[in-house]
Structure 1
Amino acid sequence: MISETQKQRILEAIAANRKNYPSDAKHASALGISPSVYNGLKKGQTEKALSDANWVNIARRLDVNLRESIKWKGAQTETFKYISLQMEACQERSLSVILCDLPNIGKTYTARWYVHEHRNAVYVDCSQVKTKRALVKKIAKEFGVGTSGKYQDTYEDLVYYLRSMERPLVVLDEAGDLQYEAFLELKALWNATEMCCGWYMMGADGLRAKIDRMVECQKVGYAEIFSRYGGKYSKVTPDQADERKAFLLEQARVVATVNAPKGMDIGQIVRKSSGGLRRVYTEIEKIKKGA
């Protein structure tokens, strides 16, 4: 059962997300609700407005945490600055980039933040939409394009919309999880939206290994995809082990500094984290909930 407090939290997220869409109708479509229901939500009407399933669906899409959690502030880590600048360039100039780097350094957090703050940018977790059809429908839905008809109609409507709108950006996280047909469809989408849409593909070292392996085996489409995404891999972390360790610990320090309660031993939190940002969150959560 969705409580009124949770509904209000979701309404706040809906209001914050509105700026990323050109109209209420497009926003309503992206959220999967009718314009009339959307209008009621804008007025604060929550009683019998949606089923619990619909509330949960919107909360998931807008990344609303339905359980009580600690307040968390974004930090200007090197990863945050590097990725956000790259995404901005991709969106402004309709470029395409592949970022392959270590997990747990803030890639996903930065991507979600960027999409939340920039109009016409969408985030797709490819681990949840691994097939061709699921991927294209997810991208279409994020932009507010209808997905109820035939797949080919959805695809063509999406291409038309991407070519018509002002500087769209598609962020593809966990791209290494995509099936082969989905990669081929990304190539087709790139071809259809060349110079009209920015694409930002992210993953860990497995994505790089997958692309390199497929290119070496001359698997159809992979060399073309790699070429269209710049023909190189971007990376934030240093290659040398000692430099990489220092880099990760510094990131952990920056994040802990802006989120830990005053008076806490930042160094101790950083040491316990070993440079992992999820561990930084866990340590600070234990401190705040135990206070």
Structure 2
Amino acid sequence: MSLTNEYKEKIRAALAARRANFDGSDARFAATLGIGSAQYSRIKRGETVGVLADEKWISIARRLGVGLTDAPAWQTAETPVFKYITAQLEMCQQNGLSAMLYDLTDIGKTYTARQYVKTHRNAVYVDCSQVKTRQKLLRGIAREFGVGSTGRLADVYNDLVFYLKTLDRPLVILDEAGDLSYEAFLEIKALWNATEHCCGYYMMGADGLSEKIRRAIDNKKVGYAEIFGRFGKRYGKVVPTARKEAESFLQLTATMIIKANAGADTDVNRLLRRLMGEDNTPSLRRINIELSKGTNN
């Protein structure tokens, strides 16, 4: 597909908003996007034609959450999950603390974390399912901060630690952390040790995260008890444990999101029924899909 200049302008506006929350230089910011500083300078001046290939524009749009269609911008509903995680992230960032969240899938954890990064300086989001190994994780975190990520791993690590210590209250959000390898978990411990009180960390996951840590500690696997201790020796949790309470909680969450994004004539209860799964809880991921179909068909 060929991107229009209007769409590139949307991406440029999103870039400007993201740049406002990035404390490093323009060169470092360009590095987070995988482009050269000269290219970023041209975009910053308002140029969009002939600066980047369409594939790179699309890659940047994906990273910034800019949709490819003209659909209305998705509106954030301040659900209990959104409020809880946002408060946790703010606490960790402001105080250089670390915490861990283990909860159900499809409740808005990832969405909340991504929204937080859009509106808070020096906070980065890392999808650990895409950087499962020690090397990929370390290079991925470095890239998000605009630190050189292609040299020797030891140099990347040292440069990243040095840079984190110079930033004003940085925060690293580690989503899908249960997918990380053993060596990658040890790298998190090393980073924590090197940046204690200088950088906040927030680890999120579902069953895989808690089970991996529990099993590793029970089997006395080196490093896991220390990691658990550094993250507070407890898991945060939002959704109630009791079955009926959890069902009501998740249905309320879905209703709030629908109301924030649906038209005035939308039959909310009807749409909610279309979202329900066999476990009597709604799929939040399907809300956007169902809304795009229209609710009165």
1:3-14 correspondence to structure 2 within 5 Å: 3-4=3-4, 5-14=6-15
Note the alpha carbon deviations across 1:16-42, whole angstroms, 9 max, x for none: 111121232221121122222111101
Could you tell me which of 166, 183, 187 is aligned with 1:181? 183
Measured on the aligned residues, the alpha-carbon RMSD in Å equals: 1.6
CA contact (8 A) 2:96 2:169 kept: yes
CA contact (8 A) 1:115 1:123 kept: yes
Does 2:286 align with 1:285?
Answer: no
SS of residue in 2 equivalent to 1:201: strand
SS of residue in 2 equivalent to 1:21: coil
Could you tell me which of 188, 205, 208 is aligned with 2:207? 205
SS of residue in 2 equivalent to 1:124: strand
SS of residue in 2 equivalent to 1:49: coil
- Give the corresponding residue for 1:60: 62
CA contact (8 A) 1:103 1:204 kept: yes
- Give the corresponding residue for 1:159: 161
Could you tell me which of 92, 95, 98 is aligned with 1:93? 95
CA contact (8 A) 2:3 2:54 kept: no
SS of residue in 2 equivalent to 1:199: strand
TM-fit CA distance, 1:272: 2.2
Note the alpha carbon deviations across 1:32-65, whole angstroms, 9 max, x for none: 2222211110122122111233223322322333
SS of residue in 1 equivalent to 2:20: helix
Return the alpha-carbon distance in structure 1 between the equivalents of residues 2 and 42 of structure 2: 18
Instruction: Report the AA paired with residue 18 of structure 2.
Output: N
Return the alpha-carbon distance in structure 2 between the equivalents of residues 128 and 192 of structure 1: 24
Return the alpha-carbon distance in structure 2 between the equivalents of residues 214 and 91 of structure 1: 28
SS of residue in 2 equivalent to 1:233: coil
CA contact (8 A) 1:70 1:285 kept: no
- Give the corresponding residue for 2:21: 20
Return the alpha-carbon distance in structure 2 between the equivalents of residues 253 and 53 of structure 1: 36
Q: Say if 1:2 and 1:192 are closer, same or farther in 2 by CA, change over 3 A.
A: farther
**With structure 1 as the length reference, what TM-score do the two structures score?**
0.95
CA contact (8 A) 1:2 1:55 kept: no
Return the alpha-carbon distance in structure 1 between the equivalents of residues 289 and 58 of structure 2: 25
Does 2:119 align with 1:112?
Answer: no
**With structure 2 as the length reference, what TM-score do the two structures score?**
0.93
SS of residue in 1 equivalent to 2:107: coil
Is 109-118 or 145-154 further displaced after alignment? 145-154
1:137-148 correspondence to structure 2 within 5 Å: 137-148=139-150
Return the alpha-carbon distance in structure 2 between the equivalents of residues 280 and 50 of structure 1: 34
Instruction: Report the AA paired with residue 175 of structure 2.
Output: D
TM-fit CA distance, 1:283: 1.7
TM-fit CA distance, 1:270: 1.8
Is 194-203 or 27-36 further displaced after alignment? 27-36
Return the alpha-carbon distance in structure 2 between the equivalents of residues 104 and 226 of structure 1: 24
TM-fit CA distance, 1:6: 3.2
- Give the corresponding residue for 2:226: 224
Note the alpha carbon deviations across 1:161-182, whole angstroms, 9 max, x for none: 1111110000000111111111
Note the alpha carbon deviations across 1:45-102, whole angstroms, 9 max, x for none: 1221112332233223223333454531000100000000000000001111110100
Is 86-95 or 147-156 further displaced after alignment? 147-156
Return the alpha-carbon distance in structure 2 between the equivalents of residues 226 and 45 of structure 1: 48
Instruction: Report the AA paired with residue 3 of structure 1.
Output: L
Gaps of 5+ in 2: 277-281
CA contact (8 A) 1:163 1:193 kept: yes
Gaps of 5+ in 1: none
- Give the corresponding residue for 2:257: 255
SS of residue in 2 equivalent to 1:97: strand
